[in-house]
Amino acid sequence: MDRQFLVSRIKEKKNFLCVGLDTDADKIPDDLKAKKYSLFEFNRRIIDETIDYCVAYKINTAFYEAQGSKGWEQMQKTVEYIPSSHFKIADAKRGDIGNTSHQYAKAFFVNMPFDAITVSPYMGNDSVTPFLSYKDKWTIVLALTSNVGSKDFEQQKIGNNLLYESVIKTVASWGTADNLMFVVGATKALDLKRIREIIPNHFILIPGVGAQGGSMEDVVKYGLTGDGGLLVNVSREIIYAGNGKNFAKEAGKIAKRYDTNMKSYL
């Protein structure tokens, strides 16, 4: 998916919601657990009920990898079920020496129809640029995350900058606003003002709204651009809104609530 199409979808729907499919095998309803493709069946129903209220889905690959080959199969079935009208993110946090990153990119961009993958920048240029070589695919680089441990490295002062600032400045020079995004946690929304000074035109993926306590109002205030410029991910609050037979409808209600809220900003 190219930038023009993504922007047009956001403007058309007045929505920048990304639904996170962090599908935990232990948390799906009991009546689904006996099914052969239980994770996919859960995801299928969630997608059907939320498709009108979001522009993107983010699949956290760890929840599928933990199930072995059967989990990978269900991840593939899930990403293939999501229509091409919606931006599809593999939240895989990959990044290794060049030849390994090439294989990661092939796995998610060639063998599975993802539009984007999250990447760790720790190993530098040659670990990130292989992902950038694919046309109309996006590399989403970890910058400033919501977790408590972000203070251990990301928020340390390196020279005149915080480390995450140096990461953003350096990585932004490896690609363009057409193929690079950055991850900034919603609980760090006040830092978005400074981040927008560094990357005024790049998209930013924002996890942490909802269950993790991030503020939508602050995210929009400091991060929204004329093109939208944001994908706000909500996972647990939506997909686990209910745990009975009507779990998917309950998820749809929460997604619709976010949709209504976002329309007031766009």
Which contiguous run of DSSP H or E holds residue 90?
strand 87-94
Catalytic choice (93, 221, 253, 256) = 93
What is the architecture, at CATH level 2, of domain 3-263?
Alpha-Beta Barrel (3.20)
Ranges of each domain in the chain: 3-263
CA-to-CA distance for 261 and 256, rounded, in angstroms? 9
**Closest Cα to residue 252, out of 58, 77, 45?**
45
Helix ranges (DSSP H) in 2-117: 3-13, 30-33, 38-50, 62-65, 69-81, 98-109
Helix ranges (DSSP H) in the chain: 3-13, 30-33, 38-50, 62-65, 69-81, 98-109, 125-132, 163-172, 192-198, 216-223, 236-239, 247-263
Tokens of 4: 């023009």
Tokens of 36: 């052969």
State the pLDDT at residue 188: 81
Q: Which residues, at least 6 apart from 7, have a Cβ–Cβ distance to it below 8 Å?
A: 227, 228
Q: What is the pLDDT along the chain (266 residues), one digit of tens a residue?
A: 999 999 999 999 999 999 999 999 999 999 999 999 999 999 999 999 999 999 999 999 999 999 999 999 999 999 999 999 999 999 999 999 999 999 999 999 999 999 999 999 999 999 999 999 999 999 999 999 888 898 998 899 988 899 999 999 999 999 999 999 999 998 888 899 999 999 999 999 999 886 666 789 999 999 999 999 999 999 999 999 998 899 999 999 999 999 999 999 98
Q: How far is CA 162 from CA 181, 189, 211, 255, in A?
A: 19, 16, 27, 35
Write down how long the chain is. 266
State the pLDDT at residue 146: 83
State the pLDDT at residue 42: 98
State the pLDDT at residue 215: 83
Which contiguous run of DSSP H or E holds residue 184?
strand 180-184
DSSP letter at 45 equals H
CA-to-CA distance for 191 and 48, rounded, in angstroms? 35
Reply yes or no on whether 93 is catalytic.
yes
> Is the Cα dihedral 62, 66, 68, 70 positive or negative?
negative
Q: What is the pTM of this model?
A: 0.96
